[in-house]
Each structure stands twice: as structure tokens, then as C-alpha cells.
Chain A
Amino acid sequence: MIAILCGTAAVENVVLLAGGVADGEVSFSNCTTSVDGALSPPCKPFEPIVAKGQLLISLHAGVAYTLVEPRTGSTRLTTLEFGEECAIGEEIELTGKLWLEDCLLEPEKENTVHLVQEGKAAAAALGGLFFGVHTASLDGSANIRLKEAGTSKTFSVLAA
């Protein structure tokens, strides 16, 4: 089992559009890689890992998700690069879909912060992430806050 742990994430260039569509980038840093539970220094990924995608509010089984997919014209969210001595490969693409769900199941509630995580149920039913040719998942959660023109705002999603 491969585990790539990242301690810092920053979202940039986020543009919200009508119809529950958006575009943005997230960069991960302070990352390490473990292979079968053991830290693998040669496989520490090059940083920052910049993933680019388009977002779409999506409803599945009565739950509102924010679906993150590669931008139109691209097949990957990002390519992770490792050192040449890394046994798992030097370049591995992260493709597929990331379903983000509100951990408190309140995506439609106007809040200044929403705690989100990967929606494993939607990923299992509709397809999730791929690391190379293998299925992948994202563990962990993050608090998301939104600012418009430097001012903190409440935000929510209205699913169809």
C-alpha cells in the first residue's frame, strides 16, 4: 500500500460560475511517501503537487457533493513526480473523480466554514480517483473558508 501524506494544502485561482460550476487549483506541500507502512525517502514527491480541476455540484442518492474532475481537455488532475530511485516510478498520474462531501451533511447551510472529506459512497458507486492504473482514495478532512475581495463570507451549495 502506498500512502502519500501532505501536511499543507492551499487553494488558488478559484472562480465560481453560474450553474454550480467552478474552476480551481490546489497545491499540496510538506509531503512524504510511505510504502507498506515504511517511510520511503526516495519516493518523497516533488513539491508543490499542483492539482487543477473543474468543480460541479452534483446530487447522488440524496446527498450533495462537489465533484472535482480534470479540466476539459485534460485527463489528469495532476502528475506526481518522484526521484529516479523511487521504486514505484518517477511519474504517476492522478486521474478520475474526487467527490467532496460536507462532513456534517450540511452543504446547503450557509456557513463561514465547511468541513469536507472525500465522499467514499459516491466514489464507490460512480467512480473515484486513480493513482496510475490503481484505484485511490483520499483520507482526511479539511475546513474550508471563503473570502470574496478579502472579506470572509458565508457559503453553501444548492444541489439540483
Chain B
Amino acid sequence: MRNGNYRLSLIGLCVTGALVLTAFAAASAQAKPEWMVGGTNVTSELKVELGVEIEPLGAAKEVHVVLLSEALER
């Protein structure tokens, strides 16, 4: 009887250990940044085309992006 209890405890411990390891592995896998395209992680080189449409800016609704910096002296 004592042997049976010991065996059950051991199996329980092993299962718990396996679950902890699985959870840790899953957490590690999620910790890596990824691109998702069409609902799938990008796991190898993927050539894509990106379309860029600049949004109207300010009250005048002018369509541009602006690089701003301090004035430079020659």
C-alpha cells in the first residue's frame, strides 16, 4: 500500500514536472518577436510588397511626411 502511494506520488511529480517544462517552453517560444502575415508566423525569408499611403497632415490636410531638425550652420 505504501509502495502504491509512493508510485502514485512519483507519477504525479513527473506529470507536474512535464507540465511545468511544457509551459516554460511555450512561454519561451512566445517571448520571441515575430511578424505575422496572413495569420501565420514568418519563420523563414519572405519577400513582400508594402504599399505606403501618406495621411493628410494638419489643418491644411497636406499630404506629406516632414523631417524636422534644428537649423544647421555651414
Residues in chain A within 8 A of chain B (CB atoms): 1-11, 14-20, 22, 24, 26, 28, 30, 35-36, 56-59, 87-89, 92, 94, 110, 115, 129, 131-132, 134-148, 150, 153-160
Residue B59 CB within 8 A of the other chain:
no
Q: Are B34 and A20 in contact (CB under 8 A)?
A: yes
Residues of A within 8 A of B52 (CB): 9-11, 26, 142-144
Which one of A4, A56, A88, A140 lies within 8 Å of B33 (CB-CB)?
Answer: A56
> Nearest 3 pairs between A and B by C-beta?
A20-B33, A140-B65, A57-B33
Say yes or no: A16 contacts B54, CB within 8 Å.
no
Instruction: Check A1–B34 contact: CB distance below 8 A.
Output: no
Can you list, as one digit per residue, whether each of B41-74 has a CB less than 8 Å from chain A (1) or not (0)? 1111111111111110100001111111111101
Q: Name the residue among B64, B66, B72 with the largest chain A CB count within 10 angstroms.
A: B64
B contact residues vs A (CB 8 Å cutoff): 30-39, 41-55, 57, 62-72, 74
Contact call A16/B38, Cβ cutoff below 8 A: no
**Docked CA distance A89–B73 (Å):** 8
Complex contact B51–A145 (CB within 8 A)? yes
Whether B65 and A9, one on each chain, are in contact in the complex, defined by CB atoms closer than 8 angstroms, is yes
Beyond the given pairs A18-B34, A30-B64, A140-B54, 11 more chain A to chain B contacts, judged by CB atoms under 8 angstroms and listed by A's residue number, are A16-B45, A88-B74, A115-B55, A134-B69, A138-B67, A140-B55, A142-B54, A148-B37, A148-B38, A157-B36, A158-B36
Question: Smallest CB–CB gap between B54 and chain A, Å?
Answer: 5
With contacts A16-B45, A18-B44, A147-B48 taken as known, whether A138 is within 8 angstroms of B65 at the C-beta atoms is: yes
A-B CB contact pairs (8 Å), 7 listed: A17-B46, A35-B71, A110-B36, A134-B70, A146-B48, A153-B37, A155-B38
Report chain B residues within 8 Å CB of A160: 31-33
Contact B33 A146 (CB under 8 A): no
Q: Is the CB of A139 within 8 A of B66?
A: yes
**Complex interface: chain A residues within 8 A of B64 (CB):** 5-7, 30, 140
